[in-house]
A and B are shown apart, each in its own frame.
Chain A
Amino acid sequence: MTQTLDAREGFSQLDSSHPSTAQAGATSETFVVTFGIAFTLGYTVFQMLNWPLFTYMPAVGKTYFWLHRPVSGEGPPMFWYGWIVTAAINAFVVGWIATIVPGHWLRRATVFCCVLSALWPAALAGLRIFILDWATFDADFLNSIWVAAIPALLGTGIITYYVPSRFADLMWTRWLLVVPIGGLVVLGYGLILLWFLR
């Protein structure tokens, strides 16, 4: 019994004398969660915008920096590697930044990024519908991702400001599932239009 109590005291001391272990655990968790969210979000965005870090031409074995449109005789281009590397670099940088900013800022910033990634294309789609169906003047200048950024940033700012801290905390690890599923829905929709409805 004495030994058991001693052992418990020892564990208690271990727990209390290693705040650095708990700190390291929290930092690791922050990094992996942020990495997961940033990678999946980044991959979706870079794929949709077609921003590969490099383009590989398998038929001729050549690699070009950034986006390269193939010229005659070069064969088909491969962007997939480029999107993955871009997303990975982005996720590493964001994950590292996440480990040095305060937790409540990070959670709110995560809400901001995730909401913005939904509102920006939604705003662009809304503007395009407005141009086609509603506008009574030449509104082609509105058909721009930069014009769509204005209502998207405004809406995201308002939503992020009013989101309760408890909701931001609750959602933080859940974004790990919401973002990739949402990303796959967006990417899948693009593929439906491109291949499945031919």
Chain B
Amino acid sequence: MDIIFTVIREDTFWKILLSVHFMLALILLAALTLQVVTALMPARQVAGGFVDRGPIPAASYATLIAVVYLLQALMGAWIYIKYRTYVRIPMEELRYWWTVGGFDFKEHTVAMGVGLLPAYWYFWQQPASTERAGVRKWLTVFLTLGVWYALSIGHVANYFRGVGS
């Protein structure tokens, strides 16, 4: 870390890291939201007995989502060091209890998502399997809601003390 800080200022480094974290979160959110919409939309039966499965190949997103989710969790864990010392302490001093509690809940949500990631990825490797369609769909919904929540509360914390605040 000290080598990096000889090249770049410490606060600039953390701001760059936070910005990359935010951009990756947007990619993850977009991919998961598209996938969950596809998973929740029933397949349409069109003329001739063909089934229209929609224009979005939801299964092909699964590996990308799993990789970006894991990358995001690791990046968030790294930034969390700065949050714990630089953001949370003044947050507590200024009695922003709801933000502190909301961010703690984000930690739990992300951790649960990490645990479910192997199952999520595995079940999307057989997208045609109707036997596991339910668990595949609801795992995707769970991860999507978790990422939406994480991004929202992350934005609130950033607004308190982060990039551009």
Contacts and interface: CB of A to CB of B under 8 A. Distances in A.
**Most chain A C-beta atoms within 10 Å of own C-beta, residue among B77, B111, B132:** B111
B122 A29 contact: yes
A173 B132 contact: yes
A184 B112 contact: yes
Nearest to A41: B115
A188 interface: yes
A180 B116 contact: yes
Contacts of A192: 101
Nearest to A83: B111
Contacts of B107: 80
Interface stretch (A6-14, A30-38, A149-157): A30-38
Interface residues of B, number: 31
B104 A76 contact: no
Contacts of B77: 80-81
B139 A177 contact: yes
Nearest to B96: A195
Contacts of B111: 43, 80, 83-84, 87
B112 A40 contact: yes
A195 B119 contact: no
Contact of B98 (A43, A78, A87, A196): A196
A174 B116 CA distance: 12
B84 A35 contact: no
Contacts of B98: 195-196
Contact of B112 (A32, A183, A194, A196): A183
Interface in B57-89: 77, 80-81, 84-85, 88-89
B104 A180 contact: no
Contacts of B139: 176-177
A68 to B, nearest CB: 15
A120 B132 CA distance: 31
Contacts of A76: 84-85, 88-89
B81 A78 contact: yes
Given A83-B111, A173-B135, 18 more contacts: A31-B118, A33-B119, A35-B118, A40-B115, A43-B111, A76-B89, A80-B77, A80-B107, A87-B115, A176-B135, A177-B139, A177-B142, A180-B115, A184-B105, A187-B108, A195-B98, A196-B98, A198-B95
Interface of A: 28-29, 31-33, 35-36, 39-40, 43, 47, 56, 58-59, 75-76, 78, 80-81, 83-84, 87-88, 91, 173-174, 176-177, 180-181, 183-184, 187-188, 191-192, 194-196, 198
Interface of B: 77, 80-81, 84-85, 88-89, 95, 97-98, 100-101, 104-105, 107-109, 111-112, 114-116, 118-119, 121-122, 132, 135, 138-139, 142
